[in-house]
Amino acid sequence: MTSTATSDGAEPKRPELSDGEFDRLRALIEGEFGIALGADKKPLVLARLGKIIATEGYASFDDYYRELVANRTHAMLSDLVDRISTNHTHFHREAAHFDFLVKTALPDVIEPHRARNQRDLRVWCAASSTGEEPYTLAMLVRDFLGTEYASWRAGVLATDISSRALDTARTGVYAADNVARLPEPLRRRYFAPVAKGLLQVDAQLRRDVVFRRFNLMNEKLPFKRGFDVIFCRNVMIYFRPETTRALVQRLYDATLPGGYLFVGHSEALDRSWSPFEFVAPGVHRKSSAVAAAPVARKG
């Protein structure tokens, strides 16, 4: 599509969004990304997609929808989810989970590795947003292992559906207010000022985190091995129950026996269907008695 502008340079008038257009767009969004938009989200879709309709030469929202359906290019779908998704987070969010990680989960999963002389700790942040959560995880893992860290393979895999969020995450640059909730020792050790009101994550810690774009709706997870710890927080609140159940099963299959899954405090997994054992609010564990199953691979 070709960008358009009015003769006086003013922003073009944004078109209206009919109920039918909204229904078609939200069905596409849910099918591609699992995000279920209720009827109350129509103003949000109008606000976030209206500009692209007005400036990129689309005659209507249906015109834009038809091109999405016809092409389904990575670039178009990536731009769509970037515009629709919300990336509101901060360092050390839901701090009780990080306390549990350090005091209970890491000791539980690391000791068996030590006993087998297998120094390979696998941590996956499955909805990394702009990077605050995976960097927090990397700090805590590095601090927990201390002088042993260099002898371990203990980086963090961080994935998200939003390319824009991942671009921000890779820079490791954050407003000082965003970092303020981290314990002071972590702030001092892992951040340096780069401009007024801005801090950057230490270069070594940035190397500890590998960022990749990944859609959690993929039916097959592209991992050769399972994970000791998975954080997938504040994602399933946007999904329908059946989508949540399917995702939880995939996460279970990707978790090593004895491994932990952390979800948001508002994302309680129903014990009647969850294959995980409930441990604490937002904390679930795969039984260590379960035989390790191969993780389904892509392709």
**What is the domain range of residue 271?**
95-171+201-285
Q: Are residues 131 and 238 in the same domain?
A: yes
Q: Are residues 160 and 234 in the same domain?
A: yes
Range from 187-196, 215-224, 241-250 carrying the lowest mean pLDDT: 215-224
Q: Closest by alpha carbon to 232, among 103, 90, 134, 106?
A: 134
Residue 120 is classified by DSSP as B
250 is catalytic: no
pLDDT digits (tens, 9 = 90+) for 226-239: 999 999 999 999 99
Cα 62-63-67 angle, rounded to 5 deg: 110
Q: Are residues 79 and 118 in the same domain?
A: no
The enclosing H or E element of 270 equals: none
**What pLDDT was estimated at residue 3?**
45
160 is catalytic: yes
Q: Is residue 182 part of a domain?
A: no
Active-site residue, selected from the candidate residues 24, 48, 93, 245: 48
**Cβ 28 vs Cβ 68: under 8 Å:** yes
CATH number at residue 146: 3.40.50.150
pLDDT-derived band at 291 (thresholds 50, 70, 90) equals low
Q: Are residues 71 and 143 in the same domain?
A: no
What is the rounded distance in angstroms from the CA atom of residue 111 to the CA atom of residue 246?
31
Q: Are residues 79 and 219 in the same domain?
A: no
Active-site residue, selected from the candidate residues 160, 206, 233, 250: 160
What is the rounded distance in angstroms from the CA atom of residue 98 to the CA atom of residue 95?
5
pLDDT digits (tens, 9 = 90+) for 34-75: 999 999 999 999 999 998 998 888 999 999 999 999 987 778
Q: Is residue 102 part of a domain?
A: yes
Which of residues 207 and 7 earns the better pLDDT score?
Answer: 207
Q: Are residues 115 and 220 in the same domain?
A: yes
H/E/C letters for each residue in 253-286? HCEEEEEEEECCCCCCCCCCCCCCEEEECCEEEC
